[in-house]
Amino acid sequence: MTQSATKRTANSSARFGTDAATQSILRHWREAVPDDRLAHLVKDAARALLRALQMRLAAHSVSIGHWTFLRILWETDGLTQRELSEQAGLMEPTTFSAIQAMQRLGYVTRRHRADNRKNIYVFLTPKGRALKGKLVPLAEAVNRVAAGGIAASNIAVTRRTLLAVIENLAREEASGKARKAPAKRRVG
């Protein structure tokens, strides 16, 4: 790294308040592996976004896991646990544990519908619904910070690119061409 680049990195650290771990990640991407796989870069960006949101949610005693389900229920209240699992991309036992915890916190209730006594549906309580007005602005703030200084046209290209990545991988998975991960074998 050149002396001027080192100075710029130090100045940006002081100006933006980034920690040593963040600087290490940035240095890795800019210097060590500038052309490394896209998946790794997306993973690091996603972690940073989630960490920023999690810090904001913690001030309201809401976990990032609960945020996922609240966000889904704010859009479509009254889903089954299976539907919630599918929309969140999580296993049903994980969803069950989260819903139980959210019920104890007073964010959701679980009940049967009159027209379907078999399934149990998850509904927001007034307390859970009221969180939307407090928490959505926090997520919007994270997006504003993340997109700071980036041209709107570049944001639009990034969105289109990431959506295409998701679509390409989903298409491959649906076609059956994607290889399944091998089953884990127990050693010993």
pLDDT of residue 28: 64
Give the number of other Cβ atoms within 10 Å of residue 95's Cβ. Answer: 23
Predicted pLDDT of residue 176: 85
pLDDT given at position 101: 96
Quickly state the pLDDT bin for 117 (edges 50, 70, 90): confident
Of all residues in the chain, what percent carry a pLDDT higher than 90? 64
pLDDT score of 182 more than 80: no
| pLDDT value, residue 34 | 57
Which conformational region is residue 103 in: left (phi greater than 0), alpha (psi within -120 to 50 degrees), or beta?
alpha
> What integer pLDDT is reported at residue 135 of this predicted model?
97
d(CA 182, CA 6): 44
* DSSP class per residue in 147-161: HTT--HHHHHHHHHH
Does residue 14 surpass a pLDDT of 80? no
Rounded Cα distance between 70 and 82, Å, is 15
Average pLDDT over residues 2-15: 41
Tokens of 155: 């944001």
Burial category of 110 from C-beta neighbours within 10 Å (exposed 0-12, middle 13-18, buried 19 and up): middle
Tell me the backbone φ, ψ of residue 126, rounded to 5 degrees. Answer: -55, -35
29-59: pLDDT as tens digits: 566 655 678 888 899 899 999 999 999 999 9
Query: pTM of the entire structure?
Result: 0.71
> What is the pLDDT confidence band of residue 100, given thresholds at 50, 70 and 90?
very high
175: three-class secondary structure by DSSP: helix
Mention every residue, 6+ apart, whose C-beta is less than 8 A from residue 25. Answer: 44
Q: Cβ(6)–Cβ(23) under 8 Å? A: no
Task: Mean pLDDT check: name the lowest of 6-20, 64-78, 160-174.
Answer: 6-20
Asked if 110 and 122 count as a contact pair (C-beta separation under 8 A), the reply is yes
Residue partners of 110: CB distance under 8 A and separation at least 6:
99, 103, 120, 121, 122, 123
For residue 50, CA distances in Å to 23, 98, 115 come to: 17, 18, 38
**How confident is the model over 102-106, as a mean pLDDT?**
97
Please report the pLDDT score of residue 39 as a whole number: 87
Question: What confidence tens digit (pLDDT) does each residue in 120-163 have?
Answer: 999 999 999 999 999 999 999 999 999 999 999 999 999 999 99
Phi, psi torsion values for 117, nearest 5 degrees: -80, -10
Domains of the chain: 37-175 (1.10.10.10)
| pLDDT category of residue 97 using cuts at 50, 70 and 90 | very high
The residue with tokens 């570049």 is 154
